[in-house]
């Protein structure tokens, strides 16, 4: 529930004006909570000039006061950072510290979600990564067999199946890891909303690179995990939960010297 410190509140109405579900009112020149249709977005906390608002179901120690030098990034610098990021598939044989993984997840935690549901959860795979890898290659081989034995499958899907088969054969015959590239950690986003999970992963990826790490999105693992009871059991998921994104993370063993080109944006101005 929202709580208003009546001694601090000056009744300015900024929280009322900024409240989307309109659950805050002013009475006797003080803010008050009108109805429990609040979705805990925290705008009232962030906008209050007197720091008079709190919520009892959040840890208020997470709330930071705005400081321009700590909270702003120059537009061109941010754009250059985004342009310079690359998907990394060459990793050093070095473990990723838990503190850095927690900071990556923190970037996901503060990503906006629809109706502020905050329904994204995270799984970090390190200790069991060899088992997860084994089960993933096994599943990719099974999927490839199913597709390639069905003549009715479209050619595009068969091309993917041939790739899955090649990856599996290289793994079993040569010990080559062409899927996770011997990275030491995976961070998986779990959510009912694919959009929420994907938006969180995008922020998490950017945080990864600020920490001196590298990563890439592994879509093949996400596909292998769908409805796969063995992988889900290792991850501690039930059959209603699905992996939406998989970030493969480690210390990069490659250094890029410039940005890469991109196609021009297709823009329609109406």
State pLDDT tens for residues 77-130.
Answer: 999 999 999 999 999 999 999 999 999 999 999 999 999 999 999 999 999 999
114 and 202, same domain (yes or no): yes
Structure-block tokens of residue 238: 């039930």
pLDDT at 1: 83
Model confidence at 35, pLDDT cuts 50, 70, 90, reads confident
Residue 69 in any domain: the answer is no
- Displacement of CA 170 from its chain's centroid (Å): 30
Alpha-carbon distance of 150 to 246, in angstroms, equals 28
Model confidence at 37, pLDDT cuts 50, 70, 90, reads confident
107 and 211, same domain (yes or no): yes
Q: Phi, psi at residue 144, to the nearest 5°?
A: -65, -45
Residue 238 in any domain: the answer is yes
H/E run at residue 269:
none
Alpha-carbon distance of 119 to 196, in angstroms, equals 8
186 and 231, same domain (yes or no): yes
188 and 213, same domain (yes or no): yes
Provide the number of structural domains found in the chain. Answer: 2
CATH number at residue 204: 3.40.109.10
Residue 168 in any domain: the answer is no
**Residue numbers of the domain that contains 109:** 75-132+177-250
Residue 237 in any domain: the answer is yes
Residue 228 in any domain: the answer is yes
Q: Are strands 185-190 and 214-217 parallel, antiparallel or unpaired?
A: unpaired
Q: Are 190 and 123 in contact (CB under 8 A)?
A: yes
pLDDT at 217: 98
Q: 116: alpha, beta or left, given left = phi > 0 and alpha = psi -120 to 50?
A: left
Which residue stretches of 85-236 are H helix?
98-109, 129-148, 155-174, 194-210, 219-225, 229-235
17 and 122, same domain (yes or no): no
Burial status of residue 268 (CB atoms within 10 A of its CB: 0-12, 13-18, 19 or more)? exposed
pTM score:
0.94
Alpha-carbon distance of 1 to 170, in angstroms, equals 56
Q: For 241-270, write each residue's pLDDT tens digit.
A: 999 999 999 999 999 999 999 999 999 999
86 and 28, same domain (yes or no): no
Identify the CA nearest to 137 among candidates 93, 188, 87, 176. 176
CATH number at residue 55: 3.30.70.20
122 and 188, same domain (yes or no): yes
């Amino acid at each position: 529930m929202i709580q208003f410190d009546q001694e601090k509140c000056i009744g300015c109405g900024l929280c009322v004006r900024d409240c989307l579900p309109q659950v805050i009112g002013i009475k006797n020149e003080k803010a008050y909570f009108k109805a429990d249709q609040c979705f805990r977005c925290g705008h009232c906390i962030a906008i209050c000039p007197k720091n008079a608002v709190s919520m009892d179901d959040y840890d208020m120690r997470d709330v930071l006061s705005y400081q321009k030098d700590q909270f702003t990034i120059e537009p061109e610098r941010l754009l250059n950072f985004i342009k310079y990021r690359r998907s990394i598939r060459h990793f050093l044989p070095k473990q990723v510290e838990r503190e850095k993984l927690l900071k990556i997840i923190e970037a996901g935690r503060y990503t906006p979600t629809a109706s502020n549901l905050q329904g994204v959860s995270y799984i970090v795979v390190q200790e069991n990564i060899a088992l997860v890898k084994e089960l993933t290659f096994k599943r990719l081989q099974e999927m490839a067999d199913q597709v390639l034995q069905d003549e009715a499958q479209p050619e595009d899907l068969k091309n993917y199946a041939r790739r899955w088969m090649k990856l599996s054969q290289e793994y079993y015959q040569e010990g080559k890891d062409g899927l996770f590239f011997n990275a030491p950690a995976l961070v998986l986003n779990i959510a009912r909303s694919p959009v929420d999970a994907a938006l969180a992963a995008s922020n998490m990826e950017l945080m990864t690179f600020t920490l001196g790490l590298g990563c890439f999105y592994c879509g093949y693992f996400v596909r292998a995990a769908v409805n796969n009871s063995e992988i889900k059991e290792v991850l501690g998921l039930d059959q209603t939960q699905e992996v939406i994104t998989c970030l493969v993370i480690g210390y990069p063993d490659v250094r890029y010297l410039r940005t890469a080109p991109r196609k021009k944006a297709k823009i329609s101005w109406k």
